[in-house]
Amino acid sequence: MMSKITGVLVDNHIYDIKNDMTNGYHFPNCLFPGATFKMVIDNDPVNNGKVKWSCSTDADNNVLAISQDGTVTFPDVDEKCIGNIFAIFATDKSTNKSAGIYIFTVKRFLKYSIEAYDSVKDILPWVKKMNGEFPEAQDIDSYDYNDHDSGHIIKREVNAGLYQEWGDVANSGWKTNSECAGICRIYAFNKEDNIYYWLKNDGVRQELSVGFTAQAVASYGESIA
């Protein structure tokens, strides 16, 4: 039987094209510098060597690459990638016929600082310098902010917040600051309740704008909220 693209592997989680990518949404909807994931052939990336991989995009040159084990990277990508089409092609080695085309369009881009900050006040000048917007809380962790628990389980899903789509982003190319001990920490603003949140990629959150270390993040493009 001829091989075919069935999904993508992101931080130890496989998104199945048929079951997880509904309503026309394909992973990823959000990108960031260093982002990487792996394509999946026949439900298991161990099969990725059965096909020849190639890629194409109408974004700037050199912002999309794929290795022959199916690993996708985005060299030199920035916010200009928003709205552009990205395509991954697989060709079955045994038949030389198409094993599928995987297409996605980036809706949001997050640019992050290497430096750590301990307040929204200190982060705002960096965001302004990057010509971005302060991130909306739903775009980082798309969870019910009427639930005031200090933590929750991150449910992996497509077209959701950064943490939902990408999981532990440090495993997907996000460079965390040494002060953050390998865990992504971001201050974000929830417009619905007019509150700043400190959000960690393990589901921990606090209602505050100062006191905890975080990376600065500038947001571009279409917000979920």
- Cα–Cα nearest to 102, from 74, 147, 70: 70
Q: Give the mean pLDDT of 166-176.
A: 94
Q: Does residue 120 have a pLDDT over 80?
A: yes
pLDDT in tens, 85-110: 999 999 999 999 999 999 999 999 99
The CATH classification number of 5-105 equals 2.60.40.1080
Average pLDDT over the chain, rounded to whole? 93
pLDDT value of residue 145: 83
Gap between the Cα atoms of 90 and 3, Å rounded: 9
CATH 2.60.40.1080 intervals, the chain? 5-105
Q: Give the mean pLDDT of 167-193.
A: 87
> Residue 180: pLDDT band by 50, 70, 90 thresholds?
low
Q: Does residue 214 have a pLDDT over 70?
A: yes
pLDDT value of residue 225: 63
Q: Give the mean pLDDT of 131-157.
A: 90
| Dihedrals phi, psi of 199, to nearest 5 degrees | -120, 130
pLDDT value of residue 218: 99
Are 29 and 63 a contacting pair, CB within 8 Å?
A: no
Q: Does residue 64 have a pLDDT over 70?
A: yes
Residues 6+ apart with CB under 8 A from 57: 63, 64, 84, 85, 86, 87
CA dihedral angle for residue 87, residue 71, residue 24, residue 190, rounded to 10 degrees? -120
